[in-house]
Structure 1
């Protein structure tokens, strides 16, 4: 792993937070609708929504029922890795749409590299296992490439690079570090759907193959799970 100060890793990991990536994703949709068609904007949101759905389902499965892969230390796809690897390539693609295809492709690859850096930061900061970060990067990159393939032949002249780039950079500066409690929301949904009082956490899940929680001191006939995890999506 690169030997960077911890505050730099936290700065990198914050690039994948929903508070920053989702506003950029909606800005992409707005520019697509303004410069091209609502169909293209909706297509982008549907592709990203499918990727978000994959993350959400895997996290609900673990938090609510303890479904994961112990051999890979996998408890759910990393949301930070997925969002950054999906959003940044498309952001750069849109910003570079007026330039020649080779430069546009380079921007997409740089965006994927940025997402991989975020995924690496999640592992370094012990927020996710390598398998969770890798799957997050793969799901996000797939979403980005699917949309880029759909939009590759868009007419370049319909959007000016300057306002698109300026808006994206201003939005990124304003939203950097903004926290959205996605993990809390997913945990709440998992508990509501599963009927459990507390979510599964990694440590207890890894310690035993018996996924059933210990008896609650308040009720010997009901099961409880370990305390909530403090890690981010």
Structure 2
């Protein structure tokens, strides 16, 4: 499996990109509001939003303050892994909601498998460590299972599977290669909150070479006066 061509791994990893999964999450909420209840739609957005907040907070903590687990090479929950493992199971569940329980369960399992494939791709492409990808899959799967458990007894039959499936497939095809600079935004927030000039970097952090505070050079006019004298 690891011998897949590199371009295939990139195609798999793009399935977890925020430029695709976040619009899919919104589309799911719209279908829930239109075909079922606004309560379900809001509940879904709250659940996936909370999972996204876990990703953002762990990344901000590392980039701004160097908070992580060196022994596990953990610097933050993988966003690609979390989003794909949260969104795809719920997309399958929504599409198959009018069907019997066994088919719905199979769809949820397929969605989780897709998220796991994205998580594996992040490790293969060296975008995340195994611990970060696993954490992302766990957080995403918990979000998906929580929503599915909550919505399981929703009365089926209000939505036809065809328009839901077609719309979600079209959205996936259209946005598969769309990229959103979420990492840049998170880094900017981390630096703003921590007051650092530069974010913590994994390699230097693992080696213990990162300074705990920003190093600010003195003004040019004062550099000579502040310089130590060895005369």
TM over 0.5: yes
In 2, the alpha carbon distance for the partners of 1:129 and 1:5 equals 20
Alpha-carbon shift at residue 2 of structure 1 (Å): 2.2
**2:179 matched residue in structure 1:** 179
User: Contact 2:85/2:111 (CA < 8 Å) preserved in 1?
Assistant: yes
3-state SS in 1 of match to 2:170 = helix
**2:22 matched residue in structure 1:** 22
Q: Indicate the larger mover: 201-210 or 130-139.
A: 201-210
In 1, the alpha carbon distance for the partners of 2:143 and 2:31 equals 18
- TM-score by length of structure 1 reads 0.91
The gaps in structure 1 that reach 5 residues or longer are 222-233
Alpha-carbon shift at residue 24 of structure 1 (Å): 0.6
Q: Indicate the larger mover: 95-104 or 202-211.
A: 202-211
List per-residue Cα deviations over 1:110-142 (Å, max 9, x = no partner).
100000000000000000000000000000000
- TM-score by length of structure 2 reads 0.92
User: Contact 1:115/1:137 (CA < 8 Å) preserved in 2?
Assistant: yes
List per-residue Cα deviations over 1:143-181 (Å, max 9, x = no partner).
000000011011111111111011001111111110000
In 2, the alpha carbon distance for the partners of 1:220 and 1:63 equals 24
* Equivalences for residues 24-173 of structure 1 within 5 A: 24-173=24-173
Alpha-carbon shift at residue 194 of structure 1 (Å): 0.5
Alpha-carbon shift at residue 212 of structure 1 (Å): 2.5
Q: Provide the aligned C-alpha RMSD in A.
A: 1.4
Matched pairs, number: 219
User: Contact 1:66/1:211 (CA < 8 Å) preserved in 2?
Assistant: no
User: Contact 2:85/2:114 (CA < 8 Å) preserved in 1?
Assistant: yes
The gaps in structure 2 that reach 5 residues or longer are 220-231
In 1, the alpha carbon distance for the partners of 2:218 and 2:212 equals 14
User: Contact 2:195/2:214 (CA < 8 Å) preserved in 1?
Assistant: no
Shift in alpha-carbon separation, 1:196–1:86, aligned structure 2, 3 A: same
